[in-house]
């Protein structure tokens, strides 16, 4: 039997990218879910793959998004929580505000999809011990907010240089994409002291470079051959180092600047959507050859079962 792995997608909408960028117009909550969700579901259906969608609560309150979100749930994919307002500074929130932010998202998402979220990922990989304690208090099974990459601070600097943020707004976002020390964390699932399972976003073993598909699109804009070689190297290293991958997707992996001109600032948007979709399908089928990818809940459950089995073996008398 192949080892467990997982695939997830942060369903960040147009307004959330504009808000993080400091661009005007986000307050009217412009979106593209009606365009991108059918594309995503079509690829997943062709691959016979179920994944986890991390949904932003604000999007679930809007009538224009509800049909798209129901389509995801009706297709059998896991629904998880990506906060209510997609602010990548949750580590600055108080306990009371965290409960409100996470709880409001839970309620909005459940009202539309009929599914109760039991997994969470902080926007911009925003997390803290307090965030995780609040998740445990609310009965969550897992968190997926760690991004063990050496390039997180570099990505943040690139983002700041290409944004229109004030000094105060940059200070709010100083934790965006994590810190350099995150690169030394484990790539495999583990359990926090409060019992919450952590499923880190997979980065390249040894080098700790990003391997999520948005980074592949950035490389593919230069060379599709290079992007595939880079991904295949990551797969080889994961197999060699016994890392169970957790692959991260984004809506921009299925869109180009013709679809969303306002997103021309985002890496990889000059690559045609057809080529992006083909590369996403390549990565999914590559995972399927070597692992048994499923939802984040599937991955967390497989880890918990393996950990329990290891514990039973360790306490058996010789």
pLDDT of residue 316: 43
Residue 96, domain CATH: 3.20.20.370
Residue 257, classified by CB atoms within 10 Å of its CB into exposed (0-12), middle (13-18) or buried (19+), is middle
* pLDDT at 213 (0 to 100): 96
Q: Which domain holds residue 291?
A: 4-315
The per-residue pLDDT for 232 is 96
pLDDT of residue 226: 97
**pLDDT at residue 294 in the model:** 98
**What pLDDT is attached to residue 166?**
59
Q: Please state whether beta strands 197-198 and 190-191 pair in parallel, antiparallel, or not at all (unpaired).
A: antiparallel
Compute the Cα dihedral for 188, 143, 82, 301 and give only its sign.
positive
Ranges of the chain with pLDDT below 50: 311-318
Q: How many CA atoms lie within 13 A of 147 on its CB side?
A: 26
DSSP one-letter code for 221: T
pLDDT at site 313: 38
Task: Count structural domains, the chain.
Answer: 1
Report how far apart, in Å, the C-alpha atoms of 136 and of each of 102, 189, 241 are: 12, 16, 30
For residue 122, the model assigns a pLDDT of 97
Global pTM? 0.90
The H-or-E segment that residue 142 falls in is: strand 142-143
Residue 171 tokens read as 């200070």
């Amino acid at each position: 039997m192949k080892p467990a792995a997982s695939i997830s997608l942060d369903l960040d909408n147009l307004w959330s990218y504009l808000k993080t960028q400091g661009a005007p117009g986000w307050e009217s909550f412009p979106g593209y879910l009606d365009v991108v969700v059918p594309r995503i579901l079509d690829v997943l259906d062709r691959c016979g793959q179920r994944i986890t969608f991390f949904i932003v609560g604000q999007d679930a309150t809007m009538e224009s998004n509800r049909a798209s979100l129901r389509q995801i749930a009706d297709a059998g994919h896991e629904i998880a929580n990506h906060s209510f307002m997609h602010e990548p500074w949750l580590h600055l929130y108080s306990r009371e505000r965290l409960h409100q932010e996470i709880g409001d998202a839970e309620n909005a998402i459940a009202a539309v999809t009929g599914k109760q979220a039991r997994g969470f990922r902080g926007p911009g990989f925003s997390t803290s011990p307090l965030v995780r304690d609040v998740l445990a208090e609310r009965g969550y099974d897992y968190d997926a907010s760690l991004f063990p990459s050496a390039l997180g601070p570099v990505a943040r600097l690139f983002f700041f240089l290409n944004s229109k943020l004030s000094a105060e707004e940059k200070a709010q976002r100083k934790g965006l994409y994590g810190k350099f020390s995150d690169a030394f964390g484990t790539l495999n699932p583990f359990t926090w002291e409060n019992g919450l399972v952590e499923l880190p976003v997979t980065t390249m073993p040894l080098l700790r470079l990003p391997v999520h598909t948005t980074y592949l699109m950035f490389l593919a804009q230069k060379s599709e051959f290079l992007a595939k070689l880079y991904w295949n190297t990551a797969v080889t290293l994961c197999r060699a180092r016994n890392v169970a991958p957790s692959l991260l997707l984004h809506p921009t992996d299925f869109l180009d600047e013709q679809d969303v001109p306002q997103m021309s600032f985002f890496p990889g948007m000059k690559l045609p959507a057809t080529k992006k979709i083909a590369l996403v399908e390549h990565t999914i089928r590559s995972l399927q050859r070597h692992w048994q990818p499923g939802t984040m809940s599937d991955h967390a459950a497989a880890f918990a079962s393996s950990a329990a089995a290891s514990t039973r073996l360790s306490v058996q008398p010789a």
